[in-house]
């Protein structure tokens, strides 16, 4: 059909979304397993009516210029959208969609998986058995830190932060939260007590980050914040690598200021294979997979497709980003 809108999809997303897009659009899909290079993006976006993009794509004014005046929608396959110049899109009247809500529970599940793995030394134990080092039951072998009864400090009590707090109740944890946009009642609803960041860092055995990346949150966990943490505490990050000053974290771990870290996100991504963090037993680094369950990635793909198709028709997006 001649009137099928042309769209660019910057990676292979699950078929649940691609099939919907292909049914209605003439879709140019970047098939490579690596992100589309910026220069190539500028070329391939030319003349499209809409695009589905990923966290690794910088979507700025130049990309919108390259697309041209026919660009009607930018649909992000993620909940976070710090890679997109949303203010610029708003100025041009281009709606931006994202995938909130559907990945909340999967991300909270992974937060717990990481917290428990680092505290109970699961990767070290696996490594030890695989290396053939397991000779006998050891009375003091791989002793770790209990999750139950510990104090969890949640930085950013949004959708994911709340889902983490709900899980923590089942583990009999005390939950503190820092979130300047949250009310006491909202926090109490998930069993969390709102405190200042200073108080949270001082009291928490586990500090878990769930804030979006903004100019206010960038680098919020710096040398000073790390120094304020309990000596035996762990840092968990499933949000954005840039929330942490990673050089300062490396130093805090090397100086044994904190007990360990579990990171699903790094700065930059991917982390270098030679990064000193990867040589530490008390550090887990995962390749940004907190939302990566089959069901959740399917739902994200459908949501991204629905935002795209609505935008192409000039309708309100089912899941627009808030321009703030
Ligand atoms: C993942 O990081 C997302 O924002 O969806
Ligand atoms: C995920 O970060 C969400 O807020 O749904």
pLDDT digits (tens, 9 = 90+) for 283-312: 999 999 999 999 999 999 999 999 999 999
CA atoms within 13 A on the CB side of 190: 23
Task: Looking at the structure, tell me whether residues 265 and 220 fall in a common domain.
Answer: yes
pLDDT bin (cut points 50, 70, 90) of residue 3 is: confident
CATH code (residue 148)? 3.40.50.720
CA atoms within 13 A on the CB side of 36: 26
Tens-digit pLDDT profile for residues 97-144: 999 999 999 999 999 999 999 999 999 999 999 999 999 999 999 999
Task: Looking at the structure, tell me whether residues 129 and 218 fall in a common domain.
Answer: yes
Position 290 in a domain: no
241: tokens are 């690598």
Residue 130 Cα to ligand 2 midpoint, Å, equals: 36
**With a 6 A CB cut-off, is 158 part of the ligand 2 pocket?**
yes
Tens-digit pLDDT profile for residues 304-314: 999 999 999 99
Residue 98 a catalytic site member: no
Task: Looking at the structure, tell me whether residues 268 and 243 fall in a common domain.
Answer: yes
Residue 181 Cα to ligand 2 midpoint, Å, equals: 15
pLDDT bin (cut points 50, 70, 90) of residue 1 is: very low
Position 321 in a domain: no
Task: Looking at the structure, tell me whether residues 197 and 263 fall in a common domain.
Answer: yes
Crossing angle (nearest 10°) for helices 122-130 and 104-119: 60
Q: Which residues form the domain of 171?
A: 104-285
**With a 6 A CB cut-off, is 296 part of the ligand 1 pocket?**
no
Position 244 in a domain: yes
At residue 7, φ and ψ (nearest 5 deg) are -135, 155
* Count of domains observed in the chain: 2
Tokens 């860092």 found at: 201
Mutate to test the pocket of ligand 1, among 53, 75, 79 (most ligand atoms within 8 A of CB): 79
DSSP string, 11-24: S---HHHHHHHHHH
Distance separating alpha carbons of residues 136 and 174, to the nearest angstrom: 36
Task: Looking at the structure, tell me whether residues 159 and 32 fall in a common domain.
Answer: no
Which pLDDT belongs to residue 13?
A: 98
Position 1 in a domain: no
Residue 132 Cα to ligand 1 midpoint, Å, equals: 37
**Extended beta strands in the chain, E state:** 6-9, 26-29, 50-53, 73-76, 96-97, 151-155, 174-178, 192-194, 206-209, 234-237, 260-263, 283-285
């Amino acid at each position: 059909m001649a009137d099928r809108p042309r769209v660019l999809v910057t990676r292979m997303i699950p078929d649940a979304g691609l099939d919907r897009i292909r049914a209605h659009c003439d879709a140019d899909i970047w098939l490579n397993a690596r992100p589309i290079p910026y220069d190539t993006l500028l070329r391939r976006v030319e003349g499209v009516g809409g695009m589905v993009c990923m966290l690794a794509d910088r979507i700025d004014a130049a990309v919108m210029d390259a697309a041209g005046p026919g660009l009607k929608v930018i649909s992000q396959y993620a909940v976070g959208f710090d890679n997109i110049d949303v203010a610029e899109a708003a100025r041009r009247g281009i709606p931006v969609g994202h995938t909130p809500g559907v990945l909340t529970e999967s991300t909270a599940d992974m937060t717990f998986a990481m917290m428990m793995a680092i505290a109970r030394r699961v990767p070290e134990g696996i490594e030890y058995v695989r290396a053939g080092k397991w000779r006998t039951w050891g009375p003091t072998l791989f002793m770790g830190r209990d999750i139950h009864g510990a104090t969890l400090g949640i930085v950013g009590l949004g959708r994911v932060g709340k889902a983490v707090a709900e899980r923590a109740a089942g583990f009999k944890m005390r939950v503190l939260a820092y979130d300047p946009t949250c009310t006491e009642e909202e926090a109490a609803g998930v069993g969390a007590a709102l405190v200042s960041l200073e108080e949270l860092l001082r009291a928490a055995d586990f500090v878990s980050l769930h804030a979006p990346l903004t100019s206010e949150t960038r680098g919020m966990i710096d040398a000073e914040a790390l120094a304020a943490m309990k000596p035996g505490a762990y840092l968990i990050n499933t949000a954005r690598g840039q929330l942490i000053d990673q050089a300062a974290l490396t130093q805090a771990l090397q100086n044994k200021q904190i007990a360990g870290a579990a990171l699903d996100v790094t700065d930059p991504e991917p982390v270098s294979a030679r990064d000193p963090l990867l040589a530490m037993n008390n550090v887990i680094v995962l390749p940004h997979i907190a939302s990566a369950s089959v069901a959740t990635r399917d739902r994200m793909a459908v949501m991204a497709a629905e935002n795209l198709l609505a935008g192409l028709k000039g309708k309100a997006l089912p899941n627009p980003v808030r321009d703030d």
